[in-house]
Chains A and B, each alone.
Chain A
Amino acid sequence: QVQLVQSGAEVKKPGASVKVSCKASGYTFTSYYMHWVRQAPGQGLEWMGIINPSGGSTSYAQKFQGRVTMTRDTSTSTVYMELSSLRSEDTAVYYCARGGILLFRVWGQGTLVTVSS
């Protein structure tokens, strides 16, 4: 079945970087764009950006420009989201979600990133 499996929870200090992975299975990896969405505790959903697994092109939300980098490894069907210069406000659950006509039909299980000194 179609599945997105993310890496485990992370605890980081302010100023550090975090890299979250999302491994896809059950479909052709390069056929669907992948998005990253985050959700701070008790808050709503926030779109961070998108990557085309086929060519690697990316587009980021203006809020995260300069701090976020999305990459992919086609050999392992995995996309990565790296966020740098972390601050407490970046504490959130980070999700990868598959694009396509049925936008965000498939989600990863989420990765909790906690930023604390």
Chain B
Amino acid sequence: QSVLTQPPSASGTPGQRVTISCSGSSSNIGSNYVYWYQQLPGTAPKLLIYRNNQRPSGVPDRFSGSKSGTSASLAISGLRSEDEADYYCAAWDDSLSVSFGGGTKLTVL
């Protein structure tokens, strides 16, 4: 059972905008930054969003992050077939550990 809660699945059609939620508590999301990762099958995860809403260089601006209270969201606009992957949220916890969400499998219909 993951500390952060994500929906197990999400879907959208090409060009659509989809959002993935991540719910936590005051000890993790509520008081620390949120990070988002994309994982394609058989590969290591890739950092998409850091510090709630910042994109590393090379990540398209179709990906955006937000945070409010103890919840966060990842939005993907202009959905493409190559966005089909697993997405994970993560946050430091005040206990000096890192918590991950259970992951959301995104299907592009």
Name A's B-contacting residues (CB within 8 A): 35, 37, 44-47, 50, 59, 61-62, 95, 97, 101-105, 107-110
Contacts and interface: CB of A to CB of B under 8 A. Distances in A.
| Residue with the greatest number of chain B CB neighbours at <10 A, chosen from A45, A62, A107, A110 | A45
Contacts of B63: none
A7 to B, nearest CB: 15
Please report whether the interface of chain B is mostly helix, strand, loop or mixed according to DSSP.
Answer: strand
Contact of B97 (A59, A103, A108, A109): A59
B94 to A, nearest CB: 13
B96 interface: yes
Contacts of B97: 47, 59, 61-62
B93 to A, nearest CB: 9
Contact of A45 (B33, B45, B47, B96): B45
Interface of B: 2, 33, 35, 37, 39, 44-45, 47, 50-51, 56, 88, 90, 96-103
B35 A44 contact: no
A35 B56 contact: no
Which of B96, B97, B98, B101 has the largest number of chain A CB atoms within 10 A? B98
A47 B50 contact: no
A46 B102 CA distance: 9
Contacts of A95: 44
16 contacts: A37-B100, A44-B102, A45-B90, A46-B100, A47-B90, A47-B99, A47-B100, A102-B50, A102-B56, A104-B37, A104-B47, A105-B56, A107-B44, A107-B45, A108-B44, A110-B44
